Structure 1
Amino acid sequence: MLNDFTGADKVYIACGYTDLRKGIDGLARLVQQQFALDPFTNTLFLFCGRRRDRIKGLYWEKDGFILLYKRLEMGAYQWPRFESEVKTLTPQQYRWLMEGLQIEQPKAHRPVMGLTTV
């Protein structure tokens, strides 16, 4: 379900690690206080633990929160560890993350902004 989650308008990841013992209230408070964002929007917030084999997702569904949890059996997520802030993901970056790839792909084709004539 988390791999093909398409219900959200935006996806944010909390860079660095998060204590995954936190439940809905703790993660919602983290979103509000540390990142100054509103957890009551059509947004998926993703959090990762130290070992990078588990993630939690927090999503507001108009009348209550959904807490998504995924544990990988083998391998680890390529989670950005160098920051302690929140980062917006594009749909492509979200797919890469769920496929076990880094969200910044140096060899990915970049969109063309305009054509120049020679």
Structure 2
Amino acid sequence: MILPGGVTRAYLATRPVDFRKGHAGLALVVQNVLGHDPYNGAVYLFRSKRGDQLKCLVWDQTGLILIYKKLEGGAFAWPKPADGVIRLSPAQFAALFEGVDWRAVRAERRQRPRLAG
């Protein structure tokens, strides 16, 4: 993965954003629209209107990192545009970033082992 240490928290903004926005503009969206702290170390994902581009914004304790990706010959799988944010698991984030339908990724639910007694 591009980000060092792996992704622990990822949030997907459900509304498209103006892709002319850079680090500061997207940090303001995280703060004012999503209600999160852009400097908390989580990855924030933003989509373009056409759905074939994404931007990732993350604070790595030394500065804001902005990653831009455009799929050639396809589009990312996005939820229907609505106000808000969706939390993604690390596996869902990896699938989305690769251009795979992340909505099909489900965590296996394991039952808690019983203690011998």
Bucket of the pairwise TM-score, normalised by the shorter protein = 0.7 to 0.9
Question: Is contact 2:8–2:90 with CA below 8 Å preserved after alignment?
Answer: no
Whether 2:53 is the aligned partner of 1:58: answer no
Deviation at 1:63, TM superposition (A): 2.0
Deviation at 1:62, TM superposition (A): 1.1
Q: What SS class does the counterpart of residue 66 from structure 2 fall into?
A: strand
Q: Which runs of 5+ in 1 are unaligned?
A: none
Task: Return the alpha-carbon distance in structure 2 between the equivalents of residues 87 and 60 of structure 1.
Answer: 19
Aligned residues: 114
RMSD of aligned residue pairs (Cα, Å): 2.3
- CA 6–102 in structure 1, closer or farther in 2 if over 3 Å, else same: farther
Task: Return the alpha-carbon distance in structure 2 between the equivalents of residues 83 and 6 of structure 1.
Answer: 31
| Structure holding more helix per residue | 2
Task: Return the alpha-carbon distance in structure 2 between the equivalents of residues 80 and 100 of structure 1.
Answer: 14
Question: Is contact 2:71–2:99 with CA below 8 Å preserved after alignment?
Answer: no
Per-residue displacement from partner, 1:18-44 (whole Å, max 9, x unpaired)?
111111111000100111100101111
Q: Which runs of 5+ in 2 are unaligned?
A: none
Letter in 2 for 1:111: R
Percent identical residues: 35
TM-score for the superposition, normalised by structure 1: 0.81
